[in-house]
A and B are shown apart, each in its own frame.
Chain A
Amino acid sequence: MDLFEKIQYVIATTLKVSPDKITRETSDTDLAAWDSLAHVNLMMSLEQIFDLFLEVEDFPKLTSVPAILEYLREQGKG
């Protein structure tokens, strides 16, 4: 599983949507299920799956697949 696929899996299971709804370009505005509360859950899932500690300041930045991909690469996760 490459990094994108892993992110796709985490978003799909956390937001309870089908993985094919999540592309390399998806952002929170594209998915009704990705609301502000679901976003908090998503942050927790990313932490747990990728063994990270996210700062509150990072929460509003990580609202799209590209942003999450870039962040995880910066953290040496991909």
Chain B
Amino acid sequence: MSNRKLDLEKLLALESRDALRQALRQTALPTLPQIQRLIDHAAGLAPAMQELRLGIVHSYTSELLDPWLYLAGALEGLDVKTYHAPYGLNLEEADARSSLVAHSAHITLMLLRREDLHPDLARPVVALSPDEQANLSPQALDRLFVIIKAFRAQRVGHLVVTILPEQRGPALGVYDPQSERSEGAWWSALKAGIGRRLRIGVEASMFVDLDEVLAQIGREAFFDPRLWYSAQFPFAAGAAREVSRRVVGLGAALRFPKAKVIALDADNTLWGGIIGEDGLDGIALGHEYPGNAYMAFQRRLLDFQQRGFILTLCSKNNRADVDQVLNGHPHQVLKPEHFAAIRVNWEPKTDNLVALAEELNLGVDSFIFVDDSDYECALVRRELPEVEVIQTPSRPVEIPYCLDQVSRLELLSLTAEDLKKTEMYAQEGLRRQQRQKAEGTGGLESYLASLEMVMTVGIDDPAPLRRLSQLTQKTNQFNLTTRRYDELHMRRLIGASNWMVGHFSLKDVFGDSGIVGLALFELSESAVAELDTFLMSCRVIGRKAESAFLNVLLKRLVATGVREVLADYLPTPKNGLVTTFLPDHGFAVGPDRRFRRDLITTPPLPDAAYPMAIELTAEPSAVRVVEMVDDIAVISYPI
């Protein structure tokens, strides 16, 4: 798809980075002088660039990636600052006094080669018997994880691990997949082992599979043997661009507000043609071109739903026409239940996006808007610049892939809550209906009682570590202090004897919210506890859960001898929702502008004061085996 001539002047006339990224995807590779001009142009566009500090540990030449990293950064609005560690994989950089640590990287990229994992990997794996191959895997993994953990122990930001693919095809050629000594099979199993160990045992880290880049652009386009044999730099321009885009893309996912919602236009986006004019039989959607491209796109959208993004519909149409397709078209993939919210009307799309955000209790900056119309895209870019706009390509064959390179649709982690998100938002819709019904009869009290809520509170439990860290990263509205903690930091707090880390989940007749609330207390020796963080996902708002949760934790503090709680409200443009949370819960503001609650004069209430059953999960033991990986117990323990 990237074979159209690059028209530099046309690109330099584009005024949004979204549009520039999409246009560049469809052209030939830029030359280095062109890259420089594109960087200068993209850097000058609004909003202002943010810094992305990138540390690079490498066992092959990495400096030649710089122009591509800077370009990928400028296209995302990131001013990339690289630090390349000395050539070679030495653990000296994994030291608190190293130049790498001094770079205070947001991301540390490890560019490794297979033989870094084990000297035997410099020779053909097929020369080893199946038994020898089986022994090699854990050895290679152990060696790799010694390296990874040495770096992870330092403040080097998010760790991104890569291993350079083989430049040659398998030793056994086309026969490889049939062989019991298959190199391909051995390598795939090793990668699965890397992924498993990272997921279970190493926080804030990920494996970016360069074989995936190889599959995308092809081995011959990936390697430039001239650069490899003369300068130990493996990447041809196409690979340099794609590797850089993926790494910097993770930076965008890390640095920018989290994307949560994909807001989709209908006509010429989900199907070809206009339902109001072409009718149910006239739109392009089915097994033949171009309808098959639209079906493929809808199928692709289900993948994004599996990543935890929620789908919404935002279309200028008659609702009845669109419903006809959603419910009655034989080839429509996305059914009404796939959408967490729907706005089909003739109002401006900007109004509808704001309304969708309100309905879902999310900020518009968590929206990615997909539409084919020049007018709508330009309008949203101008009126709602915090919404990322993806214009559906005009050629139907390109539509199925139009979201594949959107960085904020990449995940840094995946939790059980992410997988069920649309379902949870749909349940929220049912609750709203129930509430409207109750308002006619017994009001809020009877509505809350009819939900039959059960709150489960966990204390100092490391099991949901990833989710707890994610909550601090993602929660902007119901958040007293908006402090962000990575997984490493969160694990320390959970393990620390002078911190209390509480979380809760909430079940009701419609479903289970998963873990939606977090509170961090720092305990001092003087019977005073300080509320460092108190946050809650907005999808459980309005059910008194926040009050019940705080009360449970305060009761626990009282039981350990705490007499006073100190708290702060740190206002941001987004957390106006909690302005009165502290005063509403018995806290009085002092002359130092801090809030205090005396637990002797204003003690916690009995659980019965709240419209839900409250359960405490069992206390986790201090040291626990989380999972067996390759016969090695991965032990999770407080640091």
In B215-252, which residues have CB < 8 Å from any A CB?
226-227, 229-231, 233, 237
In A19-78, which residues have CB < 8 Å from any B CB?
36-37, 40-41, 44-45, 48-49, 54-56, 59
A49 touching B33, Cβ below 8 Å: yes
A36 touching B33, Cβ below 8 Å: no
Cα-based distance from A59 to B228 in the complex (angstroms): 13
- Within 8 Å of chain A (Cβ to Cβ): is B98? no
Residue of B whose beta carbon sits closest to that of A39: B231
Cα-based distance from A41 to B67 in the complex (angstroms): 9
Cα-based distance from A37 to B233 in the complex (angstroms): 10
- Within 8 Å of chain A (Cβ to Cβ): is B580? no
Cα-based distance from A13 to B229 in the complex (angstroms): 25
CB-CB contacts of A1-20 with B at 8 A, as 1s and 0s? Answer: 00000000110011010000
Cα-based distance from A6 to B294 in the complex (angstroms): 46
Cα-based distance from A13 to B36 in the complex (angstroms): 7
B231 touching A36, Cβ below 8 Å: yes
Name, among B31, B63, B64, the residue most crowded by chain A CB atoms within 10 Å (CB to CB).
B31
Residues of chain A within 8 A (CB-CB) of B63 are 37
A46 vs chain B, min Cβ distance (A): 10
- The one of B33, B61, B226, B237 that contacts A13, using a Cβ cutoff of 8 Å: B33
Q: Known contacts A44-B237, A59-B230: does B64 contact A37 (CB below 8 Å)?
A: yes
Residue of B whose beta carbon sits closest to that of A55: B226
Residues of chain A within 8 A (CB-CB) of B31 are 45, 48-49
A41 touching B64, Cβ below 8 Å: yes
Q: How many B residues touch the partner, as a band?
A: 10 to 19
A56 touching B64, Cβ below 8 Å: no
B230 touching A56, Cβ below 8 Å: yes
Cα-based distance from A25 to B359 in the complex (angstroms): 68
Name, among B67, B226, B231, B237, the residue most crowded by chain A CB atoms within 10 Å (CB to CB).
B226
Cα-based distance from A39 to B240 in the complex (angstroms): 17
Cα-based distance from A33 to B63 in the complex (angstroms): 13
Residues of chain B within 8 A (CB-CB) of A9 are 33
- The one of B32, B226, B227, B229 that contacts A45, using a Cβ cutoff of 8 Å: B32
- Does more than half of chain A's interface fall in helix, strand or loop, or is it mixed? helix
Residues of chain A within 8 A (CB-CB) of B33 are 9-10, 13-14, 45, 49
A40 touching B36, Cβ below 8 Å: no
Residues of chain A within 8 A (CB-CB) of B226 are 54-56, 59
Residues of chain A within 8 A (CB-CB) of B36 are 13, 16
Residues of chain B within 8 A (CB-CB) of A48 are 31-32
Name, among B36, B63, B230, the residue most crowded by chain A CB atoms within 10 Å (CB to CB).
B230
A37 touching B231, Cβ below 8 Å: yes
Residue of B whose beta carbon sits closest to that of A60: B230
A58 vs chain B, min Cβ distance (A): 10
B231 vs chain A, min Cβ distance (A): 5
A37 touching B61, Cβ below 8 Å: yes
Cα-based distance from A49 to B230 in the complex (angstroms): 21
- The one of A14, A36, A37 that contacts B32, using a Cβ cutoff of 8 Å: A14
B32 touching A41, Cβ below 8 Å: yes
Cα-based distance from A16 to B233 in the complex (angstroms): 20
Residue of B whose beta carbon sits closest to that of A40: B231
Name, among B33, B61, B63, B67, the residue most crowded by chain A CB atoms within 10 Å (CB to CB).
B33
B32 touching A56, Cβ below 8 Å: no
Cα-based distance from A60 to B229 in the complex (angstroms): 13
Residue of A whose beta carbon sits closest to that of B227: A40
Residues of chain B within 8 A (CB-CB) of A45 are 31-33
Residue of A whose beta carbon sits closest to that of B233: A40
Cα-based distance from A45 to B37 in the complex (angstroms): 14
Residues of chain B within 8 A (CB-CB) of A37 are 61, 63-64, 231
Cα-based distance from A55 to B226 in the complex (angstroms): 7
Q: Can you list 13 residue pairs at the A/B interface with Cβ under 8 Å?
A: A10-B33, A13-B33, A14-B32, A14-B33, A37-B63, A40-B230, A40-B231, A44-B32, A49-B33, A54-B226, A55-B226, A59-B226, A59-B230
B residues with CB within 8 A of A: 31-33, 36, 61, 63-64, 67, 226-227, 229-231, 233, 237
